[in-house]
Chain A
Protein backbone atom coordinates (compact mmCIF):
# COMPACT_ATOMS: atom_id res chain seq x y z
CA UNK A 1 0.00 0.00 0.00
CA UNK A 2 1.49 3.29 -1.07
CA UNK A 3 2.05 5.58 1.86
CA UNK A 4 1.41 8.73 -0.13
CA UNK A 5 -2.08 7.66 -1.12
CA UNK A 6 -4.64 10.30 -0.18
CA UNK A 7 -6.36 9.62 3.12
CA UNK A 8 -9.70 10.18 1.44
CA UNK A 9 -10.41 10.12 -2.24
CA UNK A 10 -13.95 10.57 -3.40
CA UNK A 11 -14.46 10.53 -7.14
CA UNK A 12 -17.67 11.69 -8.80
CA UNK A 13 -19.79 10.31 -6.00
CA UNK A 14 -23.50 10.16 -6.73
CA UNK A 15 -26.01 8.82 -4.25
CA UNK A 16 -29.69 8.56 -5.00
CA UNK A 17 -32.39 7.41 -2.63
CA UNK A 18 -35.61 5.84 -3.74
CA UNK A 19 -38.37 7.95 -2.35
CA UNK A 20 -41.65 6.37 -3.32
CA UNK A 21 -42.40 3.48 -5.58
CA UNK A 22 -42.85 5.56 -8.69
CA UNK A 23 -41.47 8.99 -7.82
CA UNK A 24 -38.15 10.27 -9.11
CA UNK A 25 -35.24 9.22 -6.94
CA UNK A 26 -33.85 11.82 -4.59
CA UNK A 27 -30.31 12.82 -5.46
CA UNK A 28 -28.70 13.42 -2.08
CA UNK A 29 -25.12 13.64 -3.35
CA UNK A 30 -24.40 14.84 -6.85
CA UNK A 31 -21.01 14.39 -8.50
CA UNK A 32 -18.95 15.16 -5.44
CA UNK A 33 -15.21 14.76 -5.76
CA UNK A 34 -12.81 15.53 -3.00
CA UNK A 35 -9.42 14.48 -1.84
CA UNK A 36 -7.90 14.80 1.60
CA UNK A 37 -4.18 14.33 2.05
CA UNK A 38 -2.76 12.62 5.16
CA UNK A 39 -2.42 15.01 8.09
CA UNK A 40 -5.04 17.46 6.88
CA UNK A 41 -8.08 18.63 8.77
CA UNK A 42 -10.88 18.95 6.27
CA UNK A 43 -14.24 20.51 7.04
CA UNK A 44 -17.35 19.92 5.01
CA UNK A 45 -19.93 22.60 5.61
CA UNK A 46 -23.43 22.94 4.33
CA UNK A 47 -27.00 23.50 5.43
CA UNK A 48 -29.28 20.75 6.73
CA UNK A 49 -30.04 18.07 4.21
CA UNK A 50 -27.26 19.05 1.83
CA UNK A 51 -25.73 15.59 1.80
CA UNK A 52 -22.90 15.80 4.33
CA UNK A 53 -23.83 12.71 6.29
CA UNK A 54 -24.65 10.79 3.14
CA UNK A 55 -21.19 11.53 1.76
CA UNK A 56 -19.58 10.28 4.94
CA UNK A 57 -21.66 7.12 5.05
CA UNK A 58 -20.75 6.32 1.48
CA UNK A 59 -17.11 6.86 2.34
CA UNK A 60 -17.46 4.33 5.16
CA UNK A 61 -19.18 1.77 2.98
CA UNK A 62 -22.41 2.03 4.96
CA UNK A 63 -24.19 3.12 1.79
CA UNK A 64 -23.44 1.83 -1.67
CA UNK A 65 -22.71 4.67 -4.15
CA UNK A 66 -25.11 4.99 -7.07
CA UNK A 67 -22.12 6.06 -9.14
CA UNK A 68 -18.54 7.03 -8.50
CA UNK A 69 -16.17 5.64 -5.91
CA UNK A 70 -14.73 6.30 -2.48
CA UNK A 71 -11.29 5.29 -1.31
CA UNK A 72 -9.60 5.41 2.06
CA UNK A 73 -5.80 5.31 1.92
CA UNK A 74 -6.14 3.84 -1.52
CA UNK A 75 -8.52 1.06 -0.51
CA UNK A 76 -12.03 0.96 -1.88
CA UNK A 77 -14.72 1.65 0.74
CA UNK A 78 -16.72 -1.32 -0.38
CA UNK A 79 -13.99 -3.56 1.02
CA UNK A 80 -14.09 -4.26 4.72
CA UNK A 81 -10.38 -3.78 5.35
CA UNK A 82 -10.58 -0.16 4.23
CA UNK A 83 -12.13 0.43 7.63
CA UNK A 84 -9.08 -0.80 9.49
CA UNK A 85 -7.64 2.70 9.62
CA UNK A 86 -10.78 4.73 10.21
CA UNK A 87 -12.61 5.90 13.26
CA UNK A 88 -16.15 7.18 12.83
CA UNK A 89 -18.34 9.31 15.02
CA UNK A 90 -21.89 9.25 13.63
CA UNK A 91 -24.21 12.19 14.03
CA UNK A 92 -26.22 12.06 17.25
CA UNK A 93 -24.33 8.95 18.24
CA UNK A 94 -26.13 6.30 20.10
CA UNK A 95 -24.47 3.32 21.68
CA UNK A 96 -25.60 0.14 23.36
CA UNK A 97 -27.55 1.30 26.36
CA UNK A 98 -26.87 -1.83 28.35
CA UNK A 99 -23.11 -1.34 28.38
CA UNK A 100 -21.13 0.96 30.63
CA UNK A 101 -18.71 3.50 29.18
CA UNK A 102 -15.75 1.24 29.81
CA UNK A 103 -17.48 -1.82 28.35
CA UNK A 104 -18.43 0.18 25.28
CA UNK A 105 -14.82 0.98 24.54
CA UNK A 106 -13.82 -2.60 25.22
CA UNK A 107 -16.44 -3.89 22.78
CA UNK A 108 -15.32 -1.65 19.92
CA UNK A 109 -11.68 -2.29 20.74
CA UNK A 110 -12.21 -6.03 20.52
CA UNK A 111 -13.95 -5.64 17.17
CA UNK A 112 -10.81 -3.92 15.91
CA UNK A 113 -8.64 -6.74 17.14
CA UNK A 114 -7.28 -5.20 20.33
CA UNK A 115 -7.15 -7.18 23.51
CA UNK A 116 -5.45 -7.81 26.79
CA UNK A 117 -3.35 -5.16 28.47
CA UNK A 118 -2.97 -3.14 25.27
CA UNK A 119 -6.71 -2.62 25.15
CA UNK A 120 -6.96 -1.94 28.88
CA UNK A 121 -4.34 0.77 28.69
CA UNK A 122 -5.88 2.25 25.60
CA UNK A 123 -9.26 2.50 27.32
CA UNK A 124 -7.62 4.19 30.30
CA UNK A 125 -5.94 6.75 28.06
CA UNK A 126 -9.07 7.49 26.08
CA UNK A 127 -11.34 7.81 29.10
CA UNK A 128 -8.87 10.28 30.51
CA UNK A 129 -8.70 12.11 27.19
CA UNK A 130 -12.45 12.59 26.87
CA UNK A 131 -12.87 13.20 30.59
CA UNK A 132 -15.22 10.30 31.30
CA UNK A 133 -13.22 8.54 33.98
CA UNK A 134 -15.90 9.12 36.57
CA UNK A 135 -18.60 7.78 34.31
CA UNK A 136 -16.81 4.64 33.15
CA UNK A 137 -18.97 2.31 35.23
CA UNK A 138 -22.24 3.99 34.43
CA UNK A 139 -24.51 2.63 31.75
CA UNK A 140 -24.35 4.56 28.50
CA UNK A 141 -28.16 4.63 28.52
CA UNK A 142 -27.92 7.23 31.25
CA UNK A 143 -25.35 9.44 29.55
CA UNK A 144 -26.13 13.01 28.59
CA UNK A 145 -25.84 14.13 24.99
CA UNK A 146 -22.41 15.66 25.48
CA UNK A 147 -21.17 12.54 27.24
CA UNK A 148 -22.43 10.38 24.39
CA UNK A 149 -20.57 12.56 21.95
CA UNK A 150 -17.39 12.17 23.97
CA UNK A 151 -17.66 8.41 24.41
CA UNK A 152 -18.28 8.37 20.65
CA UNK A 153 -15.05 10.23 20.05
CA UNK A 154 -13.15 7.82 22.28
CA UNK A 155 -14.74 4.90 20.44
CA UNK A 156 -13.69 6.37 17.11
CA UNK A 157 -10.06 6.58 18.21
CA UNK A 158 -9.84 3.21 19.90
CA UNK A 159 -7.59 1.44 17.38
CA UNK A 160 -5.27 4.41 16.65
CA UNK A 161 -6.87 5.09 13.27
CA UNK A 162 -4.98 7.25 10.79
CA UNK A 163 -8.23 8.87 9.69
CA UNK A 164 -11.01 10.10 11.93
CA UNK A 165 -14.40 10.98 10.44
CA UNK A 166 -16.60 13.15 12.63
CA UNK A 167 -20.19 13.89 11.70
CA UNK A 168 -21.15 17.04 13.59
CA UNK A 169 -18.90 16.39 16.55
CA UNK A 170 -20.20 19.39 18.47
CA UNK A 171 -23.93 18.95 17.94
CA UNK A 172 -25.71 19.22 21.26
CA UNK A 173 -22.51 19.98 23.14
CA UNK A 174 -22.19 23.11 25.27
CA UNK A 175 -19.57 25.77 24.42
CA UNK A 176 -17.03 24.44 26.91
CA UNK A 177 -17.45 20.93 25.61
CA UNK A 178 -17.26 21.98 22.01
CA UNK A 179 -14.12 23.91 22.75
CA UNK A 180 -12.64 20.76 24.22
CA UNK A 181 -13.62 18.84 21.13
CA UNK A 182 -11.98 21.53 19.05
CA UNK A 183 -8.79 21.18 21.08
CA UNK A 184 -8.96 17.44 20.63
CA UNK A 185 -9.16 17.83 16.88
CA UNK A 186 -6.12 20.09 16.98
CA UNK A 187 -4.31 17.52 19.08
CA UNK A 188 -5.14 14.85 16.52
CA UNK A 189 -3.75 17.07 13.82
CA UNK A 190 -0.52 17.50 15.77
CA UNK A 191 -0.18 13.73 15.85
CA UNK A 192 -0.50 13.61 12.10
CA UNK A 193 -3.96 12.09 12.11
CA UNK A 194 -6.20 13.09 9.26
CA UNK A 195 -9.57 14.50 10.30
CA UNK A 196 -12.62 14.76 8.09
CA UNK A 197 -15.42 16.56 9.87
CA UNK A 198 -18.66 18.19 8.92
CA UNK A 199 -20.73 20.78 10.62
CA UNK A 200 -22.96 23.70 10.02
CA UNK A 201 -21.38 25.69 12.82
CA UNK A 202 -19.14 27.78 10.62
CA UNK A 203 -17.16 29.39 13.38
CA UNK A 204 -15.92 26.07 14.70
CA UNK A 205 -15.00 24.81 11.29
CA UNK A 206 -13.10 28.02 10.77
CA UNK A 207 -11.11 27.47 13.93
CA UNK A 208 -9.78 23.99 13.19
CA UNK A 209 -9.84 23.23 9.51
CA UNK A 210 -6.99 23.55 7.03
CA UNK A 211 -9.30 23.16 4.10
CA UNK A 212 -13.03 23.39 3.73
CA UNK A 213 -15.57 22.35 1.18
CA UNK A 214 -18.99 23.88 0.89
CA UNK A 215 -21.74 21.50 -0.12
CA UNK A 216 -25.18 22.64 -1.13
CA UNK A 217 -28.03 20.49 -2.39
CA UNK A 218 -25.65 17.61 -2.92
CA UNK A 219 -23.13 19.58 -4.97
CA UNK A 220 -19.71 20.64 -3.83
CA UNK A 221 -19.86 24.30 -4.79
CA UNK A 222 -16.63 25.66 -3.34
CA UNK A 223 -13.46 24.17 -1.98
CA UNK A 224 -10.09 25.42 -0.89
CA UNK A 225 -7.64 26.45 1.80
CA UNK A 226 -9.41 28.23 4.59
CA UNK A 227 -7.30 31.43 4.57
CA UNK A 228 -7.73 31.79 0.84
CA UNK A 229 -11.46 31.40 1.09
CA UNK A 230 -12.08 33.91 3.84
CA UNK A 231 -9.33 36.50 3.68
CA UNK A 232 -10.36 39.91 2.31
CA UNK A 233 -7.08 40.70 0.63
CA UNK A 234 -7.51 44.45 0.19
CA UNK A 235 -8.42 45.29 3.78
CA UNK A 236 -6.46 45.65 7.02
CA UNK A 237 -7.81 45.67 10.55
CA UNK A 238 -6.36 47.73 13.42
CA UNK A 239 -7.63 47.26 16.96
CA UNK A 240 -6.64 49.94 19.53
CA UNK A 241 -7.21 49.94 23.25
CA UNK A 242 -8.02 53.21 25.13
CA UNK A 243 -8.30 55.35 22.01
CA UNK A 244 -9.96 58.72 22.72
CA UNK A 245 -11.98 60.54 20.10
CA UNK A 246 -9.09 62.91 19.29
CA UNK A 247 -6.84 60.02 18.35
CA UNK A 248 -9.57 58.46 16.25
CA UNK A 249 -10.18 61.64 14.29
CA UNK A 250 -6.43 62.09 13.74
CA UNK A 251 -6.20 58.59 12.33
CA UNK A 252 -9.16 59.28 10.09
CA UNK A 253 -7.42 62.40 8.81
CA UNK A 254 -4.27 60.48 7.99
CA UNK A 255 -6.27 57.91 6.07
CA UNK A 256 -8.11 60.59 4.12
CA UNK A 257 -4.93 62.34 3.16
CA UNK A 258 -3.19 59.22 1.91
CA UNK A 259 -3.64 58.16 -1.69
CA UNK A 260 -6.04 55.36 -2.58
CA UNK A 261 -6.78 54.33 1.01
CA UNK A 262 -10.38 54.39 2.18
CA UNK A 263 -11.89 54.00 5.62
CA UNK A 264 -14.42 51.22 5.56
CA UNK A 265 -15.67 51.23 9.14
CA UNK A 266 -14.82 52.21 12.69
CA UNK A 267 -16.50 51.08 15.86
CA UNK A 268 -16.08 48.89 18.89
CA UNK A 269 -15.24 45.26 18.20
CA UNK A 270 -17.73 42.96 19.83
CA UNK A 271 -16.76 39.90 21.68
CA UNK A 272 -18.48 36.86 20.33
CA UNK A 273 -21.19 35.36 22.44
CA UNK A 274 -19.10 32.25 22.69
CA UNK A 275 -16.12 34.14 24.08
CA UNK A 276 -18.32 36.02 26.54
CA UNK A 277 -19.92 32.79 27.71
CA UNK A 278 -16.56 31.14 28.26
CA UNK A 279 -15.19 34.17 30.12
CA UNK A 280 -18.18 34.33 32.44
CA UNK A 281 -18.02 30.65 33.23
CA UNK A 282 -14.34 30.87 34.01
CA UNK A 283 -14.98 33.80 36.35
CA UNK A 284 -17.74 31.85 38.03
CA UNK A 285 -15.42 28.90 38.53
CA UNK A 286 -12.69 31.02 40.05
CA UNK A 287 -14.89 32.82 42.57
Chain B
Protein backbone atom coordinates (compact mmCIF):
# COMPACT_ATOMS: atom_id res chain seq x y z
CA UNK B 1 0.00 0.00 0.00
CA UNK B 2 1.51 3.36 -0.98
CA UNK B 3 1.38 6.51 1.14
CA UNK B 4 -1.48 8.18 -0.67
CA UNK B 5 -1.95 5.40 -3.12
CA UNK B 6 -4.61 4.98 -5.73
CA UNK B 7 -5.02 1.40 -4.63
CA UNK B 8 -6.57 2.37 -1.34
CA UNK B 9 -10.34 2.08 -1.17
CA UNK B 10 -12.28 5.35 -1.01
CA UNK B 11 -13.64 4.66 2.47
CA UNK B 12 -12.15 2.08 4.73
CA UNK B 13 -12.79 0.91 8.30
CA UNK B 14 -9.81 -0.96 9.78
CA UNK B 15 -10.59 -2.76 13.00
CA UNK B 16 -12.58 0.23 14.20
CA UNK B 17 -13.83 0.04 17.78
CA UNK B 18 -15.72 2.52 19.84
CA UNK B 19 -16.49 2.25 23.52
CA UNK B 20 -17.88 4.62 26.12
CA UNK B 21 -17.20 4.23 29.82
CA UNK B 22 -15.85 0.73 29.31
CA UNK B 23 -18.92 -0.37 27.34
CA UNK B 24 -18.20 -1.54 23.82
CA UNK B 25 -20.54 0.01 21.26
CA UNK B 26 -18.70 -1.04 18.12
CA UNK B 27 -16.21 -3.86 18.12
CA UNK B 28 -13.45 -4.13 15.48
CA UNK B 29 -15.51 -3.13 12.48
CA UNK B 30 -13.74 -3.53 9.11
CA UNK B 31 -15.00 -2.89 5.60
CA UNK B 32 -14.00 -1.14 2.39
CA UNK B 33 -16.14 1.00 0.13
CA UNK B 34 -15.38 2.32 -3.35
CA UNK B 35 -16.94 5.29 -5.09
CA UNK B 36 -20.17 4.31 -6.79
CA UNK B 37 -20.90 1.76 -4.07
CA UNK B 38 -23.46 1.79 -1.30
CA UNK B 39 -22.90 -0.01 1.95
CA UNK B 40 -26.19 -0.61 3.68
CA UNK B 41 -26.01 -0.95 7.44
CA UNK B 42 -28.75 -3.23 8.61
CA UNK B 43 -29.33 -3.96 12.25
CA UNK B 44 -31.69 -3.71 15.14
CA UNK B 45 -32.18 -0.56 17.15
CA UNK B 46 -29.10 0.06 19.27
CA UNK B 47 -26.80 -2.13 17.19
CA UNK B 48 -24.43 0.77 16.49
CA UNK B 49 -25.42 2.00 13.03
CA UNK B 50 -25.55 5.71 13.83
CA UNK B 51 -22.35 5.40 15.82
CA UNK B 52 -20.60 3.95 12.76
CA UNK B 53 -21.68 6.97 10.68
CA UNK B 54 -20.46 9.43 13.32
CA UNK B 55 -17.05 7.82 13.30
CA UNK B 56 -16.72 8.75 9.63
CA UNK B 57 -17.35 12.50 9.96
CA UNK B 58 -15.53 12.70 13.30
CA UNK B 59 -18.51 13.52 15.44
CA UNK B 60 -16.94 10.63 17.30
CA UNK B 61 -13.37 9.37 17.15
CA UNK B 62 -12.66 5.64 17.35
CA UNK B 63 -11.20 4.28 20.57
CA UNK B 64 -9.45 1.65 18.46
CA UNK B 65 -8.49 1.26 14.80
CA UNK B 66 -8.77 3.87 12.09
CA UNK B 67 -11.18 5.16 9.48
CA UNK B 68 -9.61 6.11 6.12
CA UNK B 69 -11.18 8.42 3.59
CA UNK B 70 -9.62 8.87 0.18
CA UNK B 71 -6.39 7.36 1.45
CA UNK B 72 -6.04 9.47 4.57
CA UNK B 73 -6.90 8.59 8.15
CA UNK B 74 -9.81 10.87 9.07
CA UNK B 75 -8.25 11.53 12.46
CA UNK B 76 -5.62 13.57 10.59
CA UNK B 77 -8.27 15.74 8.89
CA UNK B 78 -9.81 18.94 10.19
CA UNK B 79 -13.30 17.86 11.30
CA UNK B 80 -14.93 21.08 10.06
CA UNK B 81 -13.50 20.71 6.54
CA UNK B 82 -14.25 16.98 6.56
CA UNK B 83 -17.90 17.46 7.54
CA UNK B 84 -18.50 20.03 4.82
CA UNK B 85 -17.28 17.45 2.27
CA UNK B 86 -19.78 14.84 3.45
CA UNK B 87 -23.51 14.82 2.81
CA UNK B 88 -25.15 13.68 6.03
CA UNK B 89 -28.84 13.10 6.60
CA UNK B 90 -29.18 12.63 10.34
CA UNK B 91 -31.78 10.30 11.75
CA UNK B 92 -34.16 13.02 12.99
CA UNK B 93 -33.55 15.41 10.02
CA UNK B 94 -32.47 18.26 12.34
CA UNK B 95 -33.74 21.05 10.12
CA UNK B 96 -33.04 24.44 11.67
CA UNK B 97 -36.50 25.57 12.80
CA UNK B 98 -35.79 29.30 12.52
CA UNK B 99 -34.59 29.08 8.92
CA UNK B 100 -36.64 28.71 5.76
CA UNK B 101 -36.44 25.58 3.62
CA UNK B 102 -34.23 27.44 1.14
CA UNK B 103 -31.88 28.62 3.91
CA UNK B 104 -31.70 25.11 5.32
CA UNK B 105 -30.79 23.65 1.95
CA UNK B 106 -28.17 26.37 1.37
CA UNK B 107 -26.50 25.73 4.72
CA UNK B 108 -23.27 24.07 3.64
CA UNK B 109 -22.81 26.22 0.49
CA UNK B 110 -23.23 29.24 2.75
CA UNK B 111 -20.57 27.92 5.15
CA UNK B 112 -18.34 27.38 2.13
CA UNK B 113 -19.03 30.98 1.02
CA UNK B 114 -20.47 30.19 -2.37
CA UNK B 115 -21.67 33.34 -4.18
CA UNK B 116 -25.31 34.14 -3.36
CA UNK B 117 -26.48 33.60 -6.92
CA UNK B 118 -24.92 30.16 -7.12
CA UNK B 119 -26.49 29.23 -3.77
CA UNK B 120 -29.91 30.34 -4.98
CA UNK B 121 -29.59 28.37 -8.19
CA UNK B 122 -28.44 25.26 -6.38
CA UNK B 123 -31.35 25.43 -3.93
CA UNK B 124 -33.86 25.62 -6.76
CA UNK B 125 -32.22 22.73 -8.54
CA UNK B 126 -32.16 20.53 -5.44
CA UNK B 127 -35.73 21.24 -4.35
CA UNK B 128 -36.88 20.29 -7.86
CA UNK B 129 -34.81 17.14 -7.62
CA UNK B 130 -36.42 16.00 -4.35
CA UNK B 131 -39.86 16.83 -5.70
CA UNK B 132 -40.60 20.06 -3.84
CA UNK B 133 -41.63 23.10 -5.88
CA UNK B 134 -39.11 25.84 -4.94
CA UNK B 135 -41.70 28.62 -5.32
CA UNK B 136 -44.10 26.90 -2.93
CA UNK B 137 -41.70 25.44 -0.39
CA UNK B 138 -38.57 27.60 -0.50
CA UNK B 139 -39.88 30.22 1.88
CA UNK B 140 -41.65 27.86 4.29
CA UNK B 141 -40.31 27.01 7.69
CA UNK B 142 -39.77 23.38 8.74
CA UNK B 143 -42.80 23.39 11.04
CA UNK B 144 -44.98 24.08 8.00
CA UNK B 145 -43.90 20.80 6.38
CA UNK B 146 -45.10 17.23 6.67
CA UNK B 147 -42.68 14.61 7.97
CA UNK B 148 -41.98 13.34 4.46
CA UNK B 149 -41.37 16.86 3.16
CA UNK B 150 -38.93 17.53 6.01
CA UNK B 151 -37.11 14.36 5.11
CA UNK B 152 -36.77 15.48 1.50
CA UNK B 153 -35.44 18.87 2.61
CA UNK B 154 -32.88 17.06 4.74
CA UNK B 155 -31.82 15.03 1.72
CA UNK B 156 -31.56 18.17 -0.43
CA UNK B 157 -29.47 19.85 2.28
CA UNK B 158 -27.10 16.87 2.40
CA UNK B 159 -26.58 17.00 -1.36
CA UNK B 160 -26.18 20.78 -1.58
CA UNK B 161 -22.40 21.15 -1.68
CA UNK B 162 -21.93 18.25 -4.09
CA UNK B 163 -20.31 15.83 -1.65
CA UNK B 164 -18.60 12.69 -2.89
CA UNK B 165 -19.63 10.73 0.20
CA UNK B 166 -23.15 10.42 1.55
CA UNK B 167 -24.10 9.26 5.02
CA UNK B 168 -27.81 8.57 5.08
CA UNK B 169 -29.34 7.58 8.43
CA UNK B 170 -32.79 6.21 7.62
CA UNK B 171 -33.46 9.05 5.22
CA UNK B 172 -36.67 7.65 3.74
CA UNK B 173 -38.30 6.28 6.90
CA UNK B 174 -41.15 8.80 7.01
CA UNK B 175 -42.12 8.51 3.36
CA UNK B 176 -45.11 6.72 1.91
CA UNK B 177 -44.20 3.70 -0.26
CA UNK B 178 -44.69 5.55 -3.55
CA UNK B 179 -42.59 8.60 -2.65
CA UNK B 180 -40.10 6.26 -1.07
CA UNK B 181 -39.73 4.34 -4.30
CA UNK B 182 -39.28 7.61 -6.17
CA UNK B 183 -36.58 8.82 -3.77
CA UNK B 184 -34.80 5.48 -3.96
CA UNK B 185 -34.74 5.75 -7.74
CA UNK B 186 -33.33 9.28 -7.48
CA UNK B 187 -30.72 8.04 -5.05
CA UNK B 188 -29.61 5.40 -7.57
CA UNK B 189 -29.51 7.99 -10.37
CA UNK B 190 -27.41 10.37 -8.31
CA UNK B 191 -25.08 7.60 -7.28
CA UNK B 192 -24.29 6.59 -10.83
CA UNK B 193 -24.29 10.14 -12.25
CA UNK B 194 -21.79 11.50 -9.71
CA UNK B 195 -20.13 8.22 -8.84
CA UNK B 196 -20.98 8.73 -5.17
CA UNK B 197 -19.93 6.55 -2.28
CA UNK B 198 -22.60 6.13 0.38
CA UNK B 199 -23.28 4.49 3.69
CA UNK B 200 -26.99 3.98 4.09
CA UNK B 201 -28.77 2.97 7.28
CA UNK B 202 -32.15 1.34 7.05
CA UNK B 203 -34.40 -1.05 8.92
CA UNK B 204 -36.12 -2.05 5.73
CA UNK B 205 -34.65 -5.13 4.09
CA UNK B 206 -36.33 -4.40 0.76
CA UNK B 207 -34.70 -0.99 0.71
CA UNK B 208 -31.38 -2.58 1.64
CA UNK B 209 -31.70 -5.02 -1.24
CA UNK B 210 -32.71 -2.31 -3.68
CA UNK B 211 -29.98 0.19 -2.81
CA UNK B 212 -27.05 -1.72 -1.38
CA UNK B 213 -24.12 -2.86 -3.43
CA UNK B 214 -23.24 -4.55 -0.15
CA UNK B 215 -25.24 -5.19 2.98
CA UNK B 216 -23.58 -5.24 6.38
CA UNK B 217 -25.51 -6.73 9.28
CA UNK B 218 -24.61 -5.26 12.64
CA UNK B 219 -25.53 -7.01 15.83
CA UNK B 220 -24.72 -5.46 19.21
CA UNK B 221 -21.78 -3.55 17.75
CA UNK B 222 -20.31 -6.54 15.91
CA UNK B 223 -20.35 -7.02 12.16
CA UNK B 224 -22.26 -10.26 11.76
CA UNK B 225 -21.87 -10.52 8.01
CA UNK B 226 -21.21 -8.38 4.98
CA UNK B 227 -22.49 -9.66 1.64
CA UNK B 228 -23.94 -8.59 -1.71
CA UNK B 229 -27.74 -8.40 -2.02
CA UNK B 230 -27.68 -11.59 -4.12
CA UNK B 231 -25.72 -13.47 -1.44
CA UNK B 232 -27.99 -12.18 1.32
CA UNK B 233 -30.64 -14.82 0.66
CA UNK B 234 -28.28 -17.67 1.41
CA UNK B 235 -26.69 -16.15 4.52
CA UNK B 236 -27.05 -18.37 7.58
CA UNK B 237 -26.23 -15.94 10.41
CA UNK B 238 -29.07 -15.42 12.90
CA UNK B 239 -29.83 -11.67 12.52
CA UNK B 240 -29.65 -11.83 8.73
CA UNK B 241 -32.03 -14.82 8.82
CA UNK B 242 -34.36 -12.94 11.16
CA UNK B 243 -34.44 -10.02 8.72
CA UNK B 244 -35.18 -12.42 5.86
CA UNK B 245 -38.03 -13.95 7.84
CA UNK B 246 -39.72 -10.54 7.91
CA UNK B 247 -40.26 -10.75 4.14
CA UNK B 248 -43.51 -12.24 2.90
CA UNK B 249 -42.76 -15.47 1.02
CA UNK B 250 -43.93 -14.18 -2.37
CA UNK B 251 -41.73 -11.09 -2.08
CA UNK B 252 -38.72 -13.23 -1.27
CA UNK B 253 -39.24 -15.22 -4.44
CA UNK B 254 -39.81 -12.05 -6.43
CA UNK B 255 -36.61 -10.47 -5.22
CA UNK B 256 -34.68 -13.70 -5.80
CA UNK B 257 -35.10 -13.63 -9.52
Instruction: State yes or no: do A and B come from one complex.
Output: no
**Which residues of A come within 8 Å of B, CB atoms?**
none
